[in-house]
């Protein structure tokens, strides 16, 4: 595990985004919350293109949390319709750009047409070797840890490194941990998102509502990340000096 990250090495391998503020953006304009979600989809399209062009390997987007089931039925149904149409509309460009699309979360309660579109999109893009876009739908960090724990215990797979072994049962198995977690909309919490995976993520909170996010905002976020020293609990210098010590004969 690295002790520090210099600006020259500071492109995050995994960016995660809580795309917050769609509803408040719409309400401020006298529009329905559904209109806000549609505007947020346009921002998402631009964000995917931006991070792919920057060379980020994994981008995880929090689209629908396990707690979002508590929203008004009309809003939830409108979101599911939007997800179906978005997959159909965006998949051809994602495939053309070599982007792999993955969905994480408990999808069992989704409408059958959405479940079908999810499975088709994953299969159609599985061989792509560009950026991986991970869409969290029906996802909660606690749910993820609990389902992983049940599977891990059932498999009896403690291994030589239990922490590494356990991570292989999370919904993000095989993906790097989150380096940079961004939340828009002015709130300062991660809301049950990637709790295990974001243990050492740099947290960036942006006041701007998601539909108004621009490439400049995201570029500034990457610059802020590049300025950070990531010590992972170590002390800069001390750990490096220790690594250089040569044992006496």
Residue 18 near residue 183 (C-beta atoms within 8 A): yes
Counting Cβ atoms within 10 Å, is residue 227 exposed (0-12), middle (13-18) or buried (19+)? exposed
190 is in an annotated binding site: yes
138 is in an annotated binding site: no
Say whether 124 sits in a helix, a strand or coil: helix
33 is in an annotated binding site: yes
22 is in an annotated binding site: yes
The whole-angstrom separation of Cα 94 and Cα 103 is 14
CA distances from 49 to 53, 143, 163 (A): 6, 30, 34
71 is in an annotated binding site: yes
65 is in an annotated binding site: yes
Residue 63: count of CB within 10 angstroms of its CB: 24
69 is in an annotated binding site: yes
- Active-site residue, 144 included: no
Which residue in the list 68, 177, 212, 217 is annotated as catalytic? Answer: 68
- Active-site residue, 68 included: yes
66 is in an annotated binding site: yes
Taking CA 210 as the corner, what is the angle to CA 209 and CA 212, rounded to the nearest 5 degrees?
Answer: 75
CA distances from 200 to 14, 105, 143, 182, 226 (A): 12, 22, 20, 13, 15
Query: Could you tell me the sign of the dihedral formed by the alpha carbons of 77, 78, 81, 82, in that order?
Result: negative
183 is in an annotated binding site: yes
20 is in an annotated binding site: yes
21 is in an annotated binding site: yes
Specify binding-site residues for substrate.
21-25, 33, 37, 65-67, 69, 71, 183, 189-191
Specify binding-site residues.
20-25, 33, 37, 65-67, 69, 71, 183, 189-191, 202
Specify binding-site residues for Mg(2+).
20, 202
Active site residues: 20, 68
């Amino acid at each position: 595990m690295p002790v520090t990250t210099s600006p020259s090495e500071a492109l995050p391998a995994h960016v995660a985004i809580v795309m917050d503020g769609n509803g408040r953006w719409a309400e401020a304009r006298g529009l329905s919350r559904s209109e806000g979600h549609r505007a947020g989809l346009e921002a998402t399209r631009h964000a995917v293109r931006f991070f792919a062009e920057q060379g980020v390997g994994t981008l995880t987007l929090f689209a629908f949390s396990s707690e979002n089931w508590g929203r008004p039925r009309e809003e939830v149904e409108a979101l599911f319709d939007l997800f179906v149409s978005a997959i159909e509309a965006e998949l051809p460009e994602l495939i053309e750009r070599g982007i792999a699309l993955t969905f994480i979360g408990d999808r069992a309660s989704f409408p059958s047409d959405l479940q079908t579109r999810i499975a088709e999109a994953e299969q159609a893009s599985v061989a792509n070797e560009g950026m991986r876009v991970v869409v969290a739908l029906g996802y909660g960090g606690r749910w993820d840890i609990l389902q992983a724990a049940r599977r891990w215990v059932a498999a009896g797979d403690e291994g030589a490194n239990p922490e590494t072994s356990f991570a292989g049962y999370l919904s993000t198995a095989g993906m790097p941990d989150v380096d940079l977690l961004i939340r828009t909309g002015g709130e300062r919490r991660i809301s049950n998102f990637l709790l295990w995976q974001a243990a050492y993520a740099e947290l960036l909170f942006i006041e701007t509502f998601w539909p108004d996010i621009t490439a400049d905002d995201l570029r500034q976020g990457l610059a802020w990340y590049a300025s950070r020293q990531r010590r992972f609990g170590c002390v800069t210098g001390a750990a490096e000096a220790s690594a250089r010590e040569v044992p006496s004969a």
